[in-house]
Structure 1
Amino acid sequence: MTSSQLLVADSLTATVDELYQKFGAWRTARALLFVIWRQRQTRKQVAELSDYQLRDIGLPERQSSSRSPYFMPPHLRRFD
């Protein structure tokens, strides 16, 4: 690991430790799980957008448009 990676890892550890000391283990864990859940929901919502919509909101377009059709019935969708 480089020194910059160690600094980031140390600051992350220190931040999590500070949150644990201030709010406790359960509140910190619950907040982490909430953030993970929100990011997953956002990725699911963005995954359903067309290339035009992705471009409009400033996100990169998909690499292969042949892989995912513009419309897929809900029972056939795969959520990662």
Structure 2
Amino acid sequence: MRESQSLVAETLSATVDELYRKYGVRKTVHALVLVAWKRCRMKNHISDLSNRMRRDIGLPEIEDARGEVRPPFWDIRV
């Protein structure tokens, strides 16, 4: 059991060098940029929240193009 657990992790530069030799510069850089871009997109954005959710967490409501705050369809009483 000890022998199987004693694997040594390579350094980052060694790993990138291995990827470069195996796949080439373009594919390696493309993969790194893609991973960085996906991580940036994983952040939470409040711009997608509805006015109801914005009110629930204490943020100001978003106005529509006419400058009015419209209630969502479930708040309209017929």
- Shorter-chain TM range is 0.3 to 0.5
TM-score normalised by L of structure 2 = 0.47
TM value normalised by structure 1: 0.46
Higher relative contact order (CA 8 A, sep 6+): 1
The structure with the greater share of residues assigned to helix is 1
Larger radius of gyration: 2
